[in-house]
Structure 1
């Protein structure tokens, strides 16, 4: 059963939460550090990955916050949105197409995250994306926004906005693109041929994605490809040995850092 106090304790938040920018930043980063992303739970859903995008908050809370399993984008961001609503933030649902390896973007409804209206500004809050991405919410603005050694900006592309990241070395790279208008969960129902075809590719590939943030960066495991981002420095390697892979998985899922 959803419980604000239990939730705050689980993500390491102390004190009285208030609907302000400082609280939003602290909750966002704390959530990413405390609760992992884990796509292994998608395997049982098959091509119906987005079937339950409008989550049963109480059941998912019991599974993830109390039970300790990781979650996918709409589970983690759905829980976080409920937490923000309970505290008094003004939230809405957004969706995005994630940049693929070939440089294209996935379907618009592929990824589910949150919008927060606060102090006359729009913020992006996303605790359900494995990364590399932002540890603290981004303001929907053309300005560059530095975070923990990386820089972020939100570029305009026709009627889309594109979140872009620049590490310490290297060029700007898109993370995902989105439209800033709020989404309705009904948009995920009905004939979603593009989304189903995309899900078939994901399920067919069978690649498990896991990730967790730490104080200055993120651990990202896609199959056997392990990326660690620390203060804006990206270090990628392939985990060939099973023992090393198992150790990294344990570290991500249990926060043994």
Structure 2
């Protein structure tokens, strides 16, 4: 059933406008796919509040104000919390999970480091995630084994492991490697608070040491690694480091839509 936008809460309409979603409002796979794709192209992954020692909150009103009203971004615990809220408001059934994030790890990572979503659409479960700072699925992944999901020049598939549960694999240079793993243990919103607090404050957390940002674009993606901005397109990578605070603020606005005052 397609829902009239006039029946939606003003906050939901504002969120849809924030991610530039103009399609139908229903519980189809097509709508879920379009919503996720719009999200990763409009709301950036970023940890600038952590770097600047601004305390985070995972409460929905705070996240809405930050990412919709103030047009900022966030990291997985913020992004997927708010996206999950949006999907729930639109009538999808959403379940929150923790995941182990394996990319760039040389040892087994801790389980409770990444927030992901399982979303029901057309009677089937899909993995949805708008909270990865690097390359990750920009469309939902059907929760089924050994189906290769080609997404532009990327590919993903799920397999099962007797201990780690579901394994999301990414294809890199013709080889499959783990992106993250997860089990189907439902989590409540408050279950993510302690982990997020650790990520914000622990000396060993990657989030406190260097600025990070990423967003999909029509031509590729834009990222920040430390002080360096990287603009990825089919033609290659343009990398530069702003020389002044004013140049840094302008690059944030231009490439991520983030406005800061200097």
- Which residue number corresponds to residue 22 of structure 1? 30
> 1:68, 1:81 → 2: CA distance?
18
Confirm or deny: 8 A CA contact 1:140 1:154 kept in the other structure.
yes
Question: Which secondary structure state, in structure 1, belongs to the residue aligned with residue 255 of structure 2?
Answer: helix
Structure 2 distance, partners of 1:109, 1:241, is: 33
| Deviation at residue 240 of structure 1 after TM alignment | 6.4
* Pair 1:166 & 2:166 matched: no
- Equivalent of 1:101 in 85, 100, 104: 104
Gaps spanning 5+ residues in structure 2: where? 1-8
Which position in structure 2 is the counterpart of 1:176? 180
The answer on whether the counterparts of 1:90 and 1:117 sit within 8 Å (CA) in structure 2 is yes
8 Å CA contact 1:31, 1:127 repeated in 2: yes
Q: Distance in 1 between matches of 2:158 and 2:129?
A: 14
Q: Which residue of 2 aligns with 1:156?
A: 160
1:219 counterpart = 2:222: yes
Partner of 2:3: none
Q: TM-score, normalization: structure 1?
A: 0.80
Change (3 A) 1:216 1:18: farther
Aligned residue runs from structure 1 range 1-257, under 5 A: 3-43=11-51, 52=57, 55-142=58-145, 143-160=147-164, 161-167=166-172, 169-188=173-192, 199-202=202-205, 206-215=209-218, 217-223=220-226, 239=239, 241-243=241-243, 246=248, 249-254=252-257
Is the Cα contact below 8 Å between 2:201 and 2:208 reproduced in 1? no
Q: Can you list the C-alpha shifts for 1:79-118, whole angstroms capped at 9, x where unaligned?
A: 1111111110000111112125343343211111211022
Q: Relative contact order, CA 8 A, sep 6+: which one is greater?
A: 1
CA distance in 2, matches of 1:213, 1:201: 28
- TM-score (normalizing by structure 2): 0.78
Q: 1:241 to 1:91 in 2, by over 3 A?
A: closer
Q: Is the 8 A contact 1:151 1:165 kept in 2?
A: yes
Deviation at 1:56, TM superposition (A): 1.7
- CA-CA distance at 1:62 after TM superposition: 1.3
Structure 1: where are the runs of 5+ without partners? none
